[in-house]
C-alpha cells in the first residue's frame, strides 16, 4: 500500500513539474510571439504521440466490471484535454516554418531564442520520453494490478459467498446445537426428574415397605406372642382338661365303684331285708317280741338315709362332670377361633408380602426399561454429536484453507489511474479486506465458542455417564449389579472409529443379553436347574464320546 502511494506521489510530482515547465515555456512563447508576430506563419504538430496518450488512459469499463464494490473517482474532462494538448505540443517534432523579413539582428535574436527553445524542448522531450516509459511501465503494472484485483475480487466474492454459506451453516449449526442443547437439557431434566422420581418412589416405597414390614413384623411378633400365649393357655387348658378328664375318669370309676357298692349294698340290704322280713314273718308267726321289730325298722331307716345321701352325691358328681364337659367344649371352641384368626392374618400377611414383591418387580422392570431408553437416547446424542463435530472440523479446514489463500495473496502492483481514484479503490479494497478479515475472525470466534460449547457438552455427557454408572438398580443381589456394569473403556464415544464402535455395540448387546439371561435364571429357579442339568448331561455325553471313540490312525 505504501509503495503504491509513493509511486502515485512521484508521478503526481513529475506531472506537476511538467505542467510548471510547460506553463513557463508558454509564458515565454507568449512574450516572444508579439515580437515575431508577422514572421510566424504556421505551426504544425505531429499527432504521433496521441496514441501513446491513449495508452495512458485505460478504458474505465473493465475496471467497473472487475471492481463493482470500489467507487471510481470522478474524471475531469477539461483537465485531461489540457494535458493532451500539452503532451501533443511537447511531442511535436516538426519545426515551425517561419518567413523572415527582418534584419540580421532580429534573425540573430530569433536564432538564439529558437536554439534555446529547441534545447529546452529537447530536454522536455527527453523528460517526457522518460515519463512515457515510466507511465507505460506503470500502465503495465496497473493492468496487472487490475487483473490481480479482478482475480482477488472474484476470490473475495467467492470468499464472501463461502462466508455467507459458512454463516448460514454456522447459524444452522448454532440452531442445531441450541436445539441439541435444549434436547440435552430436557434429557438431563427428564433424567433428574426420573432419578428424583425413582429416588422418591423407591425411597418412599422402600420406607413404606420397611414401615409395613416393621408393622407386619410387630404384628407378627404380637400375633406370635398372642399365639404362644394362647398356646400356653391352650396347654394349660389342655392340662386342666386332662386333669379334669382324669378326675372325671376317677369320679366315674368312683361312681361305678359306688354304684357297684350301692348295688352290692342294695343286694345285701335286700337280702338282709328279705332275711329280716322272713325273720319278722317267722317271729310274727312265732309271736316273738316287738322290740326286735323296732330294731330292724331303725336299721332299715338308716340304710334308706344312707342310700339317699349316696344318691345326692352321685347327682352332684354328674352335675360337675357335665359342667366340666361344657367348659372343655367352650375352651376347644375358643382355641379353634384363635387358630382360624391366626391363619387368616398369616394368609393376609403372605398376600401383602407377595403383592409388595410383585410391585417391586414391576418398578424394577420400569426402571430397567427407562434406563435402556435413556441409553438409546445417549447413543443417538453421541451419533449426532459426532456428526456435528465432523461438520465443524470440515468447516474449520475450509476456513483455514481460505485464510491461507488470503494470506498467500501477493501485493498488487501500482496502477496508472489517477491518485484520488487509486486511493479510493485502495481504501475500498482495504475496507473490504478488513471486513472479510473481521468476518473471518468472527467466524473463528464463533467456531471457538462452538468448540468450547462442544467441550462443555462432552464434559456434561461424561458427568452424565458417570452418574449413570454410579446409579444402581434396586435388586436383591448387589454383587451381580456391580459385575453387570459396563467398563468405562467400553462406553461408546463420538471419537471412536467404525471398528471400535461396532465392537463396543456388540459388547453392549452381548452384555444386555447376558443380563437378561441372568435375570431370567434368577427369577425362575426351575430354568436354572434345567440349564445346570443340560450342561452336566452335555459334558457327560462329550466325555462318553471321547472315551468310546479311538482315532482312525490307531484303528488302521
Report the DSSP beta bridge partners of residue 98: 40
Pull the grid cell for residue 552. Answer: 482312525
pLDDT at residue 550 greater than cutoff 80: no
Nearest to 125 by CA among 92, 77, 158: 92
**Coil/strand/helix, residue 469:** helix
Residue in the block written with cell 437416547: 377
The rounded distance, in Å, linking the Cα atoms of 381 and 389 is 12
pLDDT in tens, 224-280: 676 677 667 666 767 766 776 676 666 667 667 766 776 776 677 677 767 767 766
Pull the grid cell for residue 103. Answer: 534584419
Torsion angles phi and psi, residue 98, rounded to 5: -115, 145
Residue in the block written with cell 371352641: 333
Nearest to 321 by CA among 399, 253, 367: 253
Q: Which is higher by pLDDT, 554 or 538?
A: 538
- DSSP class per residue in 162-201: HHHHHHHHHHHHHHHHHHHHHHHHHHHHHHHHHHHHHHHH
pLDDT in tens, 136-189: 787 787 778 778 778 777 877 777 777 777 677 667 766 666 666 676 666 666
Domain ranges of the chain: 2-177, 476-522, 524-556
**pLDDT computed for residue 173 by the predictor:** 64
**Coil/strand/helix, residue 40:** strand
pLDDT at residue 98 greater than cutoff 50: no
pLDDT at residue 381 greater than cutoff 70: yes
Residue in the block written with cell 410391585: 359
Residue-averaged pLDDT of the chain: 69
Handedness of CA 552, 553, 554, 556 (dihedral sign): positive
**pLDDT computed for residue 533 by the predictor:** 94
The rounded distance, in Å, linking the Cα atoms of 52 and 33 is 30
**pLDDT computed for residue 511 by the predictor:** 85
pLDDT in tens, 397-439: 877 777 777 677 554 444 445 556 766 776 777 777 777 777 7
The rounded distance, in Å, linking the Cα atoms of 175 and 395 is 16
Please state, for a pLDDT cut of 90, what percent of the chain lies above it: 3
**pLDDT computed for residue 194 by the predictor:** 64
pLDDT in tens, 318-334: 787 788 778 778 877 87
**pLDDT computed for residue 40 by the predictor:** 39
**pLDDT computed for residue 540 by the predictor:** 94
The rounded distance, in Å, linking the Cα atoms of 305 and 446 is 131
CA-to-CA separations, 283 to 74, 277, 299, 502, in angstroms, rounded: 193, 9, 17, 137
**pLDDT computed for residue 160 by the predictor:** 75
pLDDT at residue 52 greater than cutoff 60: no
**pLDDT computed for residue 341 by the predictor:** 79
**pLDDT computed for residue 43 by the predictor:** 39
Burial (CB count <10 Å: 0-12, 13-18, 19+), residue 484: middle
Quick one: pLDDT band at residue 480, thresholds 50, 70, 90? very low
Q: pTM score, two decimals?
A: 0.25
pLDDT at residue 539 greater than cutoff 90: yes
The rounded distance, in Å, linking the Cα atoms of 471 and 188 is 14
pLDDT in tens, 123-143: 887 877 887 787 778 778 777
Amino acid at each position: 500500500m505504501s509503495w503504491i502511494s509513493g509511486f502515485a506521489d512521484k508521478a503526481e510530482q513529475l506531472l506537476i513539474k511538467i505542467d510548471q515547465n510547460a506553463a513557463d515555456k508558454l509564458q515565454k512563447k507568449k512574450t516572444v510571439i508579439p515580437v515575431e508576430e508577422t514572421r510566424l506563419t504556421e505551426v504544425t504538430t505531429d499527432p504521433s504521440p496521441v496514441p501513446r496518450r491513449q495508452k495512458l488512459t485505460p478504458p474505465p469499463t473493465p475496471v467497473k466490471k472487475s471492481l463493482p464494490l470500489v467507487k471510481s473517482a470522478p474524471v475531469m474532462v477539461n483537465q485531461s484535454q489540457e494535458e493532451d494538448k500539452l503532451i501533443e505540443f511537447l511531442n511535436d517534432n516538426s519545426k515551425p516554418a517561419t518567413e523572415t523579413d527582418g534584419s540580421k539582428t532580429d534573425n540573430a535574436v530569433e536564432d538564439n531564442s529558437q536554439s534555446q527553445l529547441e534545447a529546452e524542448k529537447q530536454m522536455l522531450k527527453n523528460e517526457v520520453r522518460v515519463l512515457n516509459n515510466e507511465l507505460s511501465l506503470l500502465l503495465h503494472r496497473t493492468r496487472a494490478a487490475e487483473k490481480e484485483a479482478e482475480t482477488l475480487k472474484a476470490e473475495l466474492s467467492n470468499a464472501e459467498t463461502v462466508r455467507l454459506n459458512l454463516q448460514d451453516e454456522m447459524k444452522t449449526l448454532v440452531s442445531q446445537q441450541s436445539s441439541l442443547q435444549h434436547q440435552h437439557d430436557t434429557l438431563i431434566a427428564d433424567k433428574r426428574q426420573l432419578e428424583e422420581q425413582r429416588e422418591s418412589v423407591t425411597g418412599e416405597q422402600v420406607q413404606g415397605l420397611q414401615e409395613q414390614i416393621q408393622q407386619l413384623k410387630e404384628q407378627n411378633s404380637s400375633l406370635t406372642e398372642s399365639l404362644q400365649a394362647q398356646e400356653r393357655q391352650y396347654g394349660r387348658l389342655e392340662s386342666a382338661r386332662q386333669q379334669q378328664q382324669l378326675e372325671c375318669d376317677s369320679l366315674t370309676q368312683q361312681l361305678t365303684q359306688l354304684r357297684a357298692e350301692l348295688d352290692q349294698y342294695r343286694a345285701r340290704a335286700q337280702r338282709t331285708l328279705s332275711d329280716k322280713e322272713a325273720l319278722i314273718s317267722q317271729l310274727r308267726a312265732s309271736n316273738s317280741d316287738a322290740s326286735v321289730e323296732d330294731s330292724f325298722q331303725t336299721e332299715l331307716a338308716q340304710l334308706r338315709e344312707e342310700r339317699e345321701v349316696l344318691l345326692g352325691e352321685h347327682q352332684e358328681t354328674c352335675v360337675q362332670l357335665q359342667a366340666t364337659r361344657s367348659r372343655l367344649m367352650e375352651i376347644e371352641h375358643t382355641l379353634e377361633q384363635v387358630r382360624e384368626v391366626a391363619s387368616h392374618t398369616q394368609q393376609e400377611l403372605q398376600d401383602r408380602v407377595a403383592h409388595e414383591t410383585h410391585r417391586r418387580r414391576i418398578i424394577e422392570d420400569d426402571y430397567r426399561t427407562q434406563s435402556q431408553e435413556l441409553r438409546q437416547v445417549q447413543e443417538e446424542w453421541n451419533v449426532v454429536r459426532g456428526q456435528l463435530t465432523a461438520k465443524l472440523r470440515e468447516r474449520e479446514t475450509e476456513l483455514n484453507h481460505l485464510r491461507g489463500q488470503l494470506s498467500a495473496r501477493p501485493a498488487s502492483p501500482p496502477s496508472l489511474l489517477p491518485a484520488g481514484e487509486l486511493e479510493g479503490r485502495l481504501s475500498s479494497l482495504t475496507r473490504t479486506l478488513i471486513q472479510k478479515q473481521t468476518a473471518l475472525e468472527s467466524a473463528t470466534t464463533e467456531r471457538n465458542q462452538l468448540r468450547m460449547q462442544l467441550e462443555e457438552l462432552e464434559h456434561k455427557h461424561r458427568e452424565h455417564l458417570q452418574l449413570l454408572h454410579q446409579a444402581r438398580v434396586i435388586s436383591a443381589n448387589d454383587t451381580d449389579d456391580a459385575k453387570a456394569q459396563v467398563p468405562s473403556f467400553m462406553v461408546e464415544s463420538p471419537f471412536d472409529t467404525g471398528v471400535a464402535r461396532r465392537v463396543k455395540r456388540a459388547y453392549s448387546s452381548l452384555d444386555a443379553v447376558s443380563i437378561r439371561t441372568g435375570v431370567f435364571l434368577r427369577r425362575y429357579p426351575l430354568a436354572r436347574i434345567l440349564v445346570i442339568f443340560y450342561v452336566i448331561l452335555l459334558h457327560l455325553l462329550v466325555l462318553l464320546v471321547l472315551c468310546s471313540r479311538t482315532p482312525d490312525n490307531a484303528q488302521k
